[in-house]
Amino acid sequence: MTHSDIVRSLIAAWERRSVDDFLALMTPDVRYLNVGMPEMVGHDQIRAAIGPFLAGASQVRWTVHHIAETSAGAVLTERTDVFQMGPKTVTLEVMGVFEFEGDKISAWRDYFDVPAFQKQMA
């Protein structure tokens, strides 16, 4: 399985809204940063932040427009992430970077318009 395949598995887990499944693809000390928001380190912090968010979503769809793997094994994604949050549809244009230790994601950074996200969530 390539690192790109692992990222695709992570995306599928998000679309199933399965925190356990996507955490299983990450190192225990993974660093997850939505740039412009506080960084989460480790499974417990990620579960505490993402679990309630995903519980509030009735549907999650990520469309990957481009995916590339560097010679060092990092995976870059250009995506549109859509979350159905009750009556609201939250749409984010995202650039993501995934770094690996072996076959586990050790760092994940997503770049998107945080104020636009916050406005959609309000």
**Total count of domains within the chain:** 1
Is 21 considered catalytic here?
no
Question: What torsion, rounded to 10 degrees, do the Cα atoms 23, 41, 6, 109 define?
Answer: 140
Q: Which domain holds residue 89?
A: 3-121
**Which one of the listed residues 29, 44, 81, 113 is annotated catalytic?**
81
DSSP 37: S
Is 103 considered catalytic here?
no
**Which one of the listed residues 5, 20, 21, 110 is annotated catalytic?**
110
Band of pLDDT at residue 3, cut at 50, 70 and 90: very high
The domain spanning residue 88 has which CATH number?
3.10.450.50
Share of the chain above pLDDT 90, in %: 98
pLDDT digits (tens, 9 = 90+) for 64-121: 999 999 999 999 999 999 999 999 999 999 999 999 999 999 999 999 999 999 999 9
Closest CA to 14 of 45, 51, 42, 48: 51
Using CA atoms, how far apart are residues 22 and 67, in angstroms rounded to an integer?
18
pTM of the shown model = 0.94
